[in-house]
Structure 1
């Protein structure tokens, strides 16, 4: 049986389970520090009533990146975190997993690059947010190999935790 453990931490404090939570615009964003593939992360979010985070607007992305910086998450998460976009169906055509329009991007300057050195059949098809480069780093989007294990961000829309006065 699956359980969703959400600790109320509106300030974004770290929970004892290695998760960080933040309410943004009524949605609850939960960062799970346990590493999984993109598909396993997507499945886990879905089983718990959410989906991988859809950072489809500049305002939402800015607020989320501010949360990451405020919590100094790069000290805890060094290889990026899965979020909810991919180009699995058609190379170079990225889509959000919830069908939200692809109107805004926040790619790192050399991305997406579909590097296929480690997977010549598929290349890099799944979306992550990572802090790069090592000198003067910023949180931005990147495409990466879907099979890689890394933390992920689940989004729970209109979550009651976020709508309590």
Structure 2
């Protein structure tokens, strides 16, 4: 009886792994060992963040901080402006990445500093060339990132 219990657990674990592997087939595995996926539905920042979290992921953060990886993400976005995991919602001017890392000049590739246009730009999107602060309620596609 004890042996069957272990066999059942092994079979369940294998089925779970196969299901998980099937789900990841639609994600891009990057050289940094994170998986990325572009979602084309146009949503607000909050919805993009929640959608990524439903997939056990975050809005892209780690990859955006790395210049070579960022170029891959720009390519993945195919010219679209996309939500990424960076915002200053909590404290104006203090940008925090979705993975909890504090934004600094060394890890955040602004071409122009965020301007908080009309006092209403607390979220960040990736453009073809850089990052830009933007109104969180605007609708954009987004990139999720997960580490497995």
Q: Based on CA coordinates, which of the two structures has the bigger radius of gyration?
A: 2
In 1, are the aligned partners of 2:59 and 2:142 still within 8 Å (CA)? yes
Given the alignment, which residue of 65, 68, 76 partners 2:71? 65
Alignment CA distance shift 1:92-1:35 (3 Å): same
Moved over 3 A (4+): 4-7, 55-58
Alignment of 1:89-108 (within 5 A): 89-103=90-104, 104-108=107-111
Alignment CA distance shift 1:98-1:72 (3 Å): closer
In 1, are the aligned partners of 2:58 and 2:144 still within 8 Å (CA)? yes
Given the alignment, which residue of 32, 48, 61 partners 1:41? 48
Aligned residues: 126
Per-residue deviation at 1:102? 2.4
Q: TM-score, normalised by structure 1?
A: 0.67
Q: Give the unaligned 5+ runs of structure 1.
A: 10-19, 117-121, 132-138, 160-165
Per-residue deviation at 1:72? 7.5
Q: How many angstroms apart in 2 are the aligned matches of 1:35 and 1:47?
A: 17
Q: How many angstroms apart in 1 are the aligned matches of 2:64 and 2:77?
A: 22
Alignment CA distance shift 1:90-1:142 (3 Å): same
In 2, are the aligned partners of 1:52 and 1:153 still within 8 Å (CA)? yes
Q: How many angstroms apart in 1 are the aligned matches of 2:62 and 2:33?
A: 14
Alignment CA distance shift 1:26-1:86 (3 Å): same
Q: TM-score, normalised by structure 2?
A: 0.74
Q: How many angstroms apart in 1 are the aligned matches of 2:28 and 2:25?
A: 8
What is residue 8 of structure 1 aligned with on the other side?
A: 25
**RMSD of the TM alignment (CA)?**
2.4
Per-residue deviation at 1:97? 1.8
In 2, are the aligned partners of 1:37 and 1:146 still within 8 Å (CA)? yes
Q: How many angstroms apart in 1 are the aligned matches of 2:50 and 2:64?
A: 24
Q: Give the unaligned 5+ runs of structure 2.
A: 1-19
